Chain A
Amino acid sequence: MTYRSRLDLTAQLLANKNMTFLHRRHPRAIIYQGLLAAAVGLTAWYFISNAVENLLARHIASGFGFLTREAGFEIGETTFLSYNAGDTYLNALAVGLLNTLHVATLSIVFSTLLGVSIGLARLSHNWLLAKLAAGYVEVIRNAPLIVQLFFWYAVITESFPAPGEALSPFPGVFLSNRGLAFPVIAAGTPLKLDYPVLSGFNFSGGALLSPEFAALLLGLSLYTAAFIAEIVRAGILAVDRGQFEAAYSLGLNQRQVMRCVILPQALRVIVPPISSQYLNCTKNSSLAVAIGYPDLVSIANTSINQTGQAIEGIAIIMLVYLTISLAISGFMNWFNRRFALRGIKP
């Protein structure tokens, strides 16, 4: 008998000398759990039976058979896969998933770069730079992401000129209310760039980021960067001051102190919260539906509206995000183990 359970028993004996069967710990726990299981089971059964009845009454099919049927709607933009309205729902959802992964991955990369810079800027000795970074974090964190997405989308579609008068910050790069057009390496010819050219009301050739994609990428990256900046700052501040002083007294300069002494230690504090920010970033990419970028949620939503199969559609969304969450946290755990102190158990 462990110390804890003995203590527990003593406490119970003190409280009630005449314990009956029901007052003892184990039988009671079993009864409670039995009741809980029954309650959960009954509720589930009640909901499911209602759902079956409702689906029958509304003539809605159930099951995932609809995935192989023709989707019949066009998708504005696709990543890697080609798609047309004649393809199946499964294809459409795959396009949505790849679009989600596309925008989430790019946002994670950009927000990490920006976030680390802003986090370091907040710790700068330069008062102006530190205050500017602090202001950025405060402003971005205290407005909802969806408002920021609407804002950037409005900036792109309303304030930028039409393709005819597109802004061209660099040769071959055009900013207009149709998005961002930029040159890409032409297929098959590694040294030749394919430049976007104005034809009619839009650009052809090169690559074009749609306003929806550009707004989502911009908004998501700027938003996530503010949170990453705080994580980076907290991580560096968590390193003992003595480490700074010791490193400086060794004659290292500021850059060396950061790179060789502080950052490796800060990284161990930084990685766990940053991985949860990466998860947030991926989940937040679902706000794409609000500005009309065809991500997974948006396409699943269209499918639900067309087929009426809400349960299956939402199950797919949840399953996919849970898988992504598990994958990211699995990867970050591996990364964390690799960079954790070896041989010293905290």
Chain B
Amino acid sequence: MSRAMVAAAPHRVTLLQWVRAHLFSTWSSSVATLAIFYFAWITIPPLIEWAVVRAVWSPHSASLCRESGQGACWAFVADKYRFILFGTFPADQHWRPALVIAILIALYALSSWRGVRRSSLVVLWLTGLTALGLLMWGGLFGLNYVDNERWGGLTLTLLLATFGIALAFPLSILLALGRRSDMPLVRWLCISYIELIRGVPLISVLFMASVMLPLFLPAGVSIDKLLRAQLAMILFAAAYLAEVVRGGLQAIPRQQEEAAQALGLTYWQRIRYVILPQALRISIPPLVNTFIGFFKDTSLVVIIGLFDFLTTIKVSLTEPAWTGFGVEAYLFAAIGYFLFCCPMSRYSQALERQNAPGRGVPMLREN
């Protein structure tokens, strides 16, 4: 309320007035302000000294890090950054995964930009994903073949998240439609699948893919570890996405479907041309939120030993030179994930504000 009063004031607000209105408006507010200042005074200077002033930056100074009086050991990151970004991809070919990371970031940025038309986006994504496959596997146009066991690091995290969502999305639409179907068997199957997956932790689904799935395949047939994990992530994400899509479907007025029916459209025509375009448009902000959760969840593959961004960091820490620098390493990991998740979170908040301006009630993120 005080903010509104200040904004409505006819004269320009001076700094002093702003400070009084926002930091010292009441006794309790003043106490809180002073407490925060005091807390900042005792924590921030030592933190800066540790993280910047006394930090060790040069990549070959593992021993320097261990001398007393040294701050954060960023040398760890400087030394291991190639492994953390690209895994064990052949060193002379590192430009390939680097290009893959650049393409993926560009695709995400373009998708969130309004200037690009939807039809051209589809073309862009298809070309982009084909290029990714070519760059990662190689085997064509003079690029030598690289087995997917050597993919890793940030590249793998981005690939797991992107392909996971891209393939889970169509499945989730089917599940959401199935959940609203008139056919009891279809509805019942979809509900049990969605609720089963949402009721158990992702780890159990990953365990299922890594230790149980091989038992279910005929002797002699095996699916590699990466594909199994990707499959588990797709099946997991589909259940969560299905609930988001269902939310969008439920928001479409009944009359839309009835009008489409009266026009003589078949079920799939109604879904394709009338219902889904409207339902998906309003689901974009929650879909982005689900994607953020999913992006973070890809880090769980560390438990089944896939070399993603987090695993490469964890494995680097087991080298004798770098043991004991977990605080710096995981701080770096958190910053890495944050750099991807924060823009996405901002994007979905901005979309939400455009869709419902002035309401001010934030949309909730599940995870």
Contact = CB atoms under 8 A, between A and B. Distances in A.
A40 B302 contact: no
Interface stretch (B54-62, B79-87, B124-132, B260-268): B260-268
A147 B333 contact: yes
A154 B32 contact: no
Interface stretch (B63-71, B97-105, B142-150, B324-332): B324-332
Given A125-B29, A142-B341, A150-B333, A159 B360 contact: no
B338 A10 contact: no
Interface residues of A, number: 74
Contacts of A256: none
Interface in B294-309: 296-297, 299-300, 302-303
Interface stretch (B9-17, B88-96, B196-204): B196-204
Given A50-B217, A151-B327, A317-B207, A128 B36 contact: yes
A54 B264 contact: no
Nearest to A248: B1
B294 to A, nearest CB: 11
A54 B217 CA distance: 8
A237 B199 contact: no
A139 B216 CA distance: 41
B56 to A, nearest CB: 16
Which one of B36, B264, B330 has the highest number of Cβ atoms from chain A below 10 Å of its Cβ?
Answer: B330
Contacts of A32: 183, 186
Given A36-B189, A125-B25, A301-B207, A310 B215 contact: yes
Nearest to A233: B362
B161 to A, nearest CB: 11
Given A151-B327, A314-B207, A55 B365 contact: no
A147 B310 contact: yes
B319 interface: no
A34 B338 CA distance: 48
B338 to A, nearest CB: 5
A5 B352 CA distance: 37
A142 to B, nearest CB: 4
A19 interface: no
Which one of B1, B22, B202, B219 has the highest number of Cβ atoms from chain A below 10 Å of its Cβ?
Answer: B22
A158 B303 contact: no
Given A144-B337, A314-B211, A158 B327 contact: yes
Contacts of A11: 261-265
B215 to A, nearest CB: 5
A7 B216 contact: no
30 contacts: A8-B261, A11-B263, A11-B265, A36-B186, A36-B189, A50-B217, A51-B215, A51-B216, A53-B219, A54-B219, A126-B22, A126-B29, A128-B36, A139-B338, A143-B333, A144-B296, A144-B299, A144-B300, A146-B299, A147-B337, A150-B333, A283-B201, A284-B201, A290-B303, A297-B203, A297-B207, A304-B207, A304-B211, A317-B201, A325-B199
A242 B73 CA distance: 54
Interface of A: 4, 7-8, 10-11, 14-15, 29, 32-33, 36-37, 40, 47, 50-51, 53-55, 57, 124-129, 132, 138-139, 141-148, 150-151, 153-155, 157-159, 227, 230-231, 233-234, 237-238, 273, 276, 279-280, 283-284, 286-287, 289-290, 297, 301, 304, 310-311, 314, 317-318, 321-322, 325-326
Which one of A154, A280, A289 has the highest number of Cβ atoms from chain B below 10 Å of its Cβ?
Answer: A154
A139 B339 CA distance: 10
Contact of A128 (B3, B32, B189, B214): B32
A227 B367 contact: yes
B292 A142 contact: yes
B327 to A, nearest CB: 5
A41 to B, nearest CB: 11
Contacts of B3: 125
A8 B292 CA distance: 40
A327 B241 CA distance: 24
A143 B29 CA distance: 31
Which one of B182, B216, B263, B366 has the highest number of Cβ atoms from chain A below 10 Å of its Cβ?
Answer: B216
A50 B366 CA distance: 37
A141 B345 contact: yes
Interface of B: 1-3, 22-23, 25-26, 29, 32-33, 36, 182-186, 189, 196, 199-204, 207-208, 211-212, 214-219, 258, 261-266, 292, 296-297, 299-300, 302-303, 310, 314, 324-327, 329-331, 333-334, 337-338, 341-342, 345, 360-367
Contact of A126 (B33, B189, B310, B362): B33
Contacts of A238: 361
What 4 pairs across the A-B complex have the smallest Cβ distances?
Answer: A154-B326, A142-B341, A127-B22, A144-B296
Contacts of B261: 7-8, 11
Given A154-B329, A227-B367, A317 B204 contact: yes
Contacts of A153: 326
A286 B327 contact: no
Given A280-B367, A297-B201, A144 B219 contact: no
Given A146-B310, A310-B212, A138 B32 contact: no
Contacts of A148: 334
Given A32-B186, A227-B366, A237-B361, 4 more contacts: A36-B189, A126-B32, A144-B337, A148-B334
B326 A143 contact: no
A322 B199 contact: yes
Contact of B366 (A57, A276, A322): A276
Which one of B211, B215, B265 has the highest number of Cβ atoms from chain A below 10 Å of its Cβ?
Answer: B215
A179 to B, nearest CB: 16
Contacts of B363: 234
Contacts of A4: 258
B219 to A, nearest CB: 6
Nearest to A25: B182
Given A290-B302, A317-B200, A273 B364 contact: yes
Nearest to A235: B361
A150 B199 contact: no
B194 to A, nearest CB: 13
B360 A237 contact: yes
A1 B2 CA distance: 60
Nearest to A290: B303
Nearest to A322: B199
